[in-house]
Structure 1
Amino acid sequence: MKHRRILLFAGFLLPLTLLFFSFDKKLPEPFMTSQKDTLPQFARAKDHLGKNVANSIGLVSLSTGIDNSYYLQDSQNRVGYLYLETKIGRYVSDLAQKNPLNISIVLDRSGSMAGEKMDFAKKAANDIIDKLGPEDFVSVVIYDEFIDVIQPAISVLYKDSIKVKINKVKPRGSTNLWGGSERGYEQVKANYKKNYINRVLLISDGNITAGPKIPSRIIAQVQAFKDINGISISTFGVGLDYNETLMTDMAENGAGNYYFINRADKMAAIFDKELYGLLNVVAQGAELRITLPKGVTVEKIYPFQYAMEKNEVVIKFQDLFSEDIKGLMVRFRIEDAYNTALPFFTRLVYTDNTTGEPKTILNENILAPIKNREQYLASFNKTVAEQVVLFTANENME
């Protein structure tokens, strides 16, 4: 679910973006922005002739684009943006060949979940149990300041006995969100199987009052479980006063999905969507690798955590599901001394779940130096520019 937090504001921001792109105002020159600027300076664009590069194999596609086809020679403080998007077509697996699930339901039982929130959460957990089959494994973890495993990992043969345990949960105490999440990860890890979909499903309002509280440290642990142990996480925000930023960041960096539950009648559709995706894996072990040209350094990547291997950016997506879309933005800087063509190579590497064969999609984007200012101003990429506005506005709201 791409750009979850900002899409609500897209109706306002995109017209604002187009307004900026349409008028030649006396604003700072392009590629002369500071990191504190809310919006990059595309305001003097004369046209948007820049294009994306797109390639696909079967249902899997990769699109990449740079905010401008050129960069100005002999200028300083040059910053650019590379937008990348993976998109999966609709796929329905043969039920006899689907990947079984190994999941842990982590349920927040803290005092802040009292009332309607707890009713939502327990119904959500029961809905998940109802949709699992005997080949799947499930565990149930509940937490306040204390963490309890009320159902250790078990094959889903007797659904009613699991649901009885869930229905007995009562709200109480503080919120040790990471303690509960970590125990869910441990349950999945203990039963980890490579051909299974291994995921934690966290149902919470995300308001931490006990245990680890620093979001960046929690996100680092989420990423470690994804990268090292191959376990993803989806988060389900309950109620109107939940911690949206933390819950979304956990899902985005944990290779899962984020959902908002504010009405009981929405839950069936929400969990149908989540479990439909889990049951219809298209690409497994997916990694995005961006080879940077000499003279280019990464300043920031939105919204995913990443690793650097020499001059290569590595982002581990893990599994990609039917109709899944993942978008990310790389903000990079060009060294002042460079005035040569800069090739960016992006590879999406994965195993095709339908054949078991390794696949690689390769895109090349070339950023060329130019002295002709008019040609430069006509060569912005409108699609990328709009995504830059979305990502940077989202960052400023956090």
Structure 2
Amino acid sequence: MPNTIPRIRIHSLKPALIAGVAQKLPVLIRVQAPDPLATEKKARKPYHLALVIDRSGSMSGPPLAEAVRCAKHIADQLEPTDIASLVVFDDRVQTLVPPRPVGDRQALHLALSRVHSGGSTNLHGGWQAGADGLLPAAGQAALARVILLSDGNANVGEITDPAGIAALCAQAAERGVSTSTYGLGSHFNEDLMVEMAKRGGGNHYYGDTAADLFEPFAAEFDFISALCARHVRLSLAAAPGVGIRLLNDYLVEGDAGFPVIRLPDIAFGAEAWALVELQIPVGLAGEGAGQLLQAAVTASTPEGEPLAFADATLTLPAMSPAAWETLLSDPLVLSRQSELAAGKLLEQARAAAEHGDWNVVERLLAEARQRFADQPWLIEVLESMAELARSRDTARFRKEALYSSRSMDSRTLSTHEAFYEDPATESASPSFLRRKKAQGKTEFGKPDDPEK
């Protein structure tokens, strides 16, 4: 059955509490957008995009050429009424095309054809120029976003501190301009690029090589084109005495009993999700049948209109330990638990690789492959990570471990549970819903590659 309205769904690990026992109960909250309607395309407010490209000396040759090709691809997908700008930076920052309607795209194409490589990397200056161009009219846009591409570190400019740059991204997001980042190769600062996107309310991607950039660029625009809900806030209220611990790495406001969780934007046909652990005291477990959790969501459409979600609640009976043991666990909760646990393990392996402890890395990955043997996608990711570990390439391992763990923590999902059971269905799906076994590699092919 197609989903026709926004909704919240709550799944507990098992459909009951253990009577008379203090316990920790995993609970999955799914915030779902409706499926896309097969109707005539509706008019929308314009997108406002700033394409910000690193042209420092290390980008010379194929990397810069591929970055320009990806930027042209995005320009070609925009409507004539959308607003776009082009900023390039090395140690200097230049706005080649100020924010203006795309029109016939010729100004963007001409400017892109003249981009050439230069010196050092004033990453903050490039980002700031892109954001400054979007901020004045951000309220008029369906989406205002800086799309930043770099292969290096913020080594020159007014601000080079990663925490300071990420904080500015957060401030811009509060004013309506989000940030997506694209890292290229093995020398960029992945912690900075991921944190900029996380605090900036956008997406983060990377490519091992220039040729690997096209797939994430296409995924970004596919996602923007299908956008349904923005500024998604999940509010949770637990019964008195029940604690809530968020297991995802989302930004959170409020306290342990009433957190407000900042979820990612949601596209049509997709969902954002959060896994929490309810800490239930003995007294409440003995009573059972009471309301444990209430979930509410606020969000807006790309046009700025409020998007209505009906609240959802979780109420569970209490059962004897013997009866509780016979209940089946919810497979979706188990799957999300496994993904978050695998992501934490990759963070441990990344830390070990930074210290050159490759024996520890290999042991962690081997244990993980045994632990998650019933999760096919996780096994593919872990095998890819094991192959990288054998190469002893610390820089590549660090990046792949970070981006894979982030994918496991907050990736966009299809609203339909059976979606990922058929690989053919997944490969033909919108690019932002596909699971990749290696985040830095092209896996599904380019639109212009007939062999894929």
Distance apart, 1:137 and its partner CA: 0.9
Identify the residue that residue 190 of structure 1 maps to in structure 2. Answer: 136
Q: How does 1:78-227 map to 2 (within 5 A)?
A: 78-88=23-33, 89-91=35-37, 94-95=40-41, 97-157=43-103, 159-205=105-151, 207-210=153-156, 211-214=159-162, 218-226=165-173
Listed one character per residue, the Cα deviations across residues 12-53 of structure 1 (whole Å, up to 9, x for unaligned) are xxxxxxxxxxxxxxxxxxxxxxxxxxxxxxxxxxxxxxxxxx
When residues 324 and 107 of structure 1 are mapped into structure 2, their CA distance, relative to the original with a 3 A threshold, is farther
CA contact (8 A) 1:57 1:361 kept: no
The unaligned stretches of length 5 or more in structure 2 are 348-452
For 1:148 and 1:334, the matched residues in 2 are separated by 56
Match in the other structure for 1:236: 182
Q: Please give the alpha-carbon distance, in whole angstroms, between the structure 2 residues aligned to 1:323 and 1:262.
A: 30
Q: How many residue pairs are counted as aligned between the two chains?
A: 341
Whichever structure has more strand as a proportion of its residues is 1
Kindly state the Cα deviation for residue 151 of structure 1 after the two structures are TM-superposed.
Answer: 2.3
Please report how far the alpha carbon of residue 120 of structure 1 lies from its aligned counterpart in structure 2 after TM superposition.
1.4
What amino acid is the match of 1:222? C
Structure 1 residues 1-398: aligned runs within 5 Å: 58-72=4-18, 78-88=23-33, 89-91=35-37, 94-95=40-41, 97-157=43-103, 159-205=105-151, 207-210=153-156, 211-214=159-162, 218-226=165-173, 228-239=174-185, 243=189, 246-261=192-207, 270-308=216-254, 311-317=257-263, 319-334=265-280, 339=285, 340=287, 341=290, 343-351=292-300, 358-366=307-315, 370-373=319-322, 375-376=324-325, 378-398=327-347
Residue 299 of structure 2 aligns to a residue in which SS? strand
1:256-314 CA-partner distances (Å, limit 9, x unpaired): 33444456677666545433432343335433222233223344441321211784322
The 1:195–1:103 alpha-carbon spacing in structure 2 relative to 1, beyond 3 Å, is: closer
Distance 2:221 2:16 in 1: 44
Q: Tell me the CA shift for residue 94 of structure 1.
A: 4.6
Where does the alignment leave 5 or more consecutive residues of structure 1 unmatched?
Answer: 1-54
* Letter of the structure 1 residue corresponding to residue 177 of structure 2: I
The residue type equivalent to 2:27 in the other structure is L
Deviation at 1:70, TM superposition (A): 4.3
Question: Judging changes above 3 Å, is the alpha-carbon distance between structure 1 residues 64 and 246 closer, same or farther for their aligned structure 2 residues?
Answer: farther
* Residues 206, 329 of structure 1: alpha-carbon distance in 2 compared, 3 angstrom cutoff: farther
For 1:236, the aligned partner's letter is Y
Partner-residue secondary structure (3-state), 1:193 = helix
User: CA 1:332–1:173 in 2, change beyond 3 Å: closer, same or farther?
Assistant: farther
Amino acid at match of 1:375: W
Judged with a 3 Å threshold, the aligned counterparts in structure 2 of structure 1 residues 305 and 354 are, in CA distance, closer, same or farther, namely closer
Distance (whole Å) between structure 2 residues aligned to residue 80 and residue 141 of structure 1: 49
* Alpha carbons of structure 1 residues 87 and 359: separation in structure 2 relative to 1, 3 Å: closer
What is the TM-score with the length of structure 2 in the denominator?
0.63
Separation of aligned partners in 2, 1:93 and 1:278: 18
The alpha-carbon deviation at position 387 of structure 1 amounts to 0.9
Post-superposition offset of 1:189: 1.0
* Pairwise CA distance, 1:388: 1.5
Sort the Cα spacing of 1:137 and 1:333 in 2 relative to 1 into closer, same or farther, 3 A: same
CA distance change for structure 1 residues 57 and 131 in 2, over 3 Å: closer, same or farther?
closer
Give the aligned residue type for 1:129.
Answer: A
How far apart, CA to CA, are the structure 1 residues paired with 2:247 and 2:123? 26
Cα deviation, residue 391, structure 1: 1.3
In the other structure, the counterpart of 2:417 is none
1:200 maps to a residue whose letter is V
Question: Is the contact made by 2:97 and 2:107 (CA closer than 8 Å) also made in structure 1?
Answer: no
- Distance in 2 between the 1:259 and 1:172 partners? 24
SS at 2:26 equivalent? strand
Structure 1 residue 97: Cα displacement: 0.8
Residue type at the aligned position of 1:385 = L
Q: 1:368 to 1:203 in 2, by over 3 A?
A: farther
Mark the CA change 1:169 to 1:80 in structure 2 (over 3 Å): closer, same or farther.
Answer: farther
Q: Aligned to 2:52, what secondary structure does the other structure show?
A: strand
Write the letter of the residue equivalent to 2:162.
I
Q: Greater helix share, 1 or 2?
A: 2
Q: Counterparts of 1:150 and 1:290 in 2: how far apart (Å)?
A: 46
Between the aligned partners of 1:80 and 1:213, the Cα distance in structure 2 is 40
DSSP-derived class of the 2:309 partner: strand
SS state at 2:259 partner = strand
CA offset digits 1:364-394 (Å, max 9, x no partner): 1235555525515735333212212211321
Give the secondary structure class of the aligned counterpart of 1:288.
Answer: strand
Q: Give the partner amino acid of 2:236.
A: I
Check the 8 A contact 1:288/1:315 in 2, yes or no: yes
RMSD, aligned α-carbons: 3.7
Of all paired residues, the percent bearing the same amino acid is 21
Given that 2:27 and 2:276 are in contact with CA atoms closer than 8 Å, whether structure 1 keeps it comes out as yes
